[in-house]
Amino acid sequence: MSPGEPTRDQTLAPGPRPVLTPLRRARRFQLPGAPSALIGREHDLAAARALILGNHTRLLTLVGPPGVGKTGLALALAESLEEDFDQGAAFVDLSSLRSPDLVGDAIAHAFGLRQQGNLKTC
């Protein structure tokens, strides 16, 4: 480039620079939303988030007496993780299932997976 020749930037049309906003990633799944605000579970929520986002946890089970807040915590956790995964987080309601044999199919259905031979695929 010789002296005085416009630089690439100078050849662009004058005017305000466009504001580029990141594209919001498409969410595939809709969370039901917690029925009420979670109270006093900040520590548990942070601990569960750290486990899920760590490299060693593929399944996290919340256990406790009836009504202690397992489902509420799970929903708040899923909501808090939505931005951490490209396609968000899904809630699979297993409460109406009458056999553990149906768990796999219920999860596959919620994630829109189809059975091909012995494999489930998107």
Ligand X SMILES: Nc1ncnc2c1ncn2[C@@H]1O[C@H](COP(=O)(O)OP(=O)(O)OP(=O)(O)O)[C@@H](O)[C@H]1O
Q: Is residue 83 within 8 Å of 72, Cβ to Cβ?
A: no
38 or 113, CB closer to ligand X? 38
Letters for 5-44 (x = contact with ligand X by CB under 6 A, - = none) are ------------------------------xx-xxxx---
Residues 65-94 that bind ligand X (CB under 6 A): 66-72
Q: Is residue 15 within 8 Å of 50, Cβ to Cβ?
A: no
- Give the count of alpha carbons within 13 A of 52, CB side only: 19
15 or 35, CB closer to Mg ion? 35
- Per partner kind, with CB cut-offs from 5 to 8 A, the member of ligand X, Mg ion, none near residue 41 is ligand X
- In 3D space, the residue among 50, 121, 39, 122 whose CA is nearest the CA of residue 81 turns out to be 50
How far is residue 54 from each of residues 77, 80, 82, measured CA to CA in Å? 14, 15, 15
35 or 117, CB closer to ligand X? 35
| Nearest-angstrom CA–CA distance, 46 and 49 | 5
Size of the site for ligand X (CB under 6 A): 14
Identity at 114, one-letter amino acid code: R
| Nearest-angstrom CA–CA distance, 40 and 60 | 20
Residues 70-89 that bind Mg ion (CB under 5 A): 70-71
Residues 9-68 that bind Mg ion (CB under 5 A): none
The binding site for ligand X (CB under 6 A) comprises 35-36, 38-41, 64, 66-72
The binding site for Mg ion (CB under 5 A) comprises 70-71
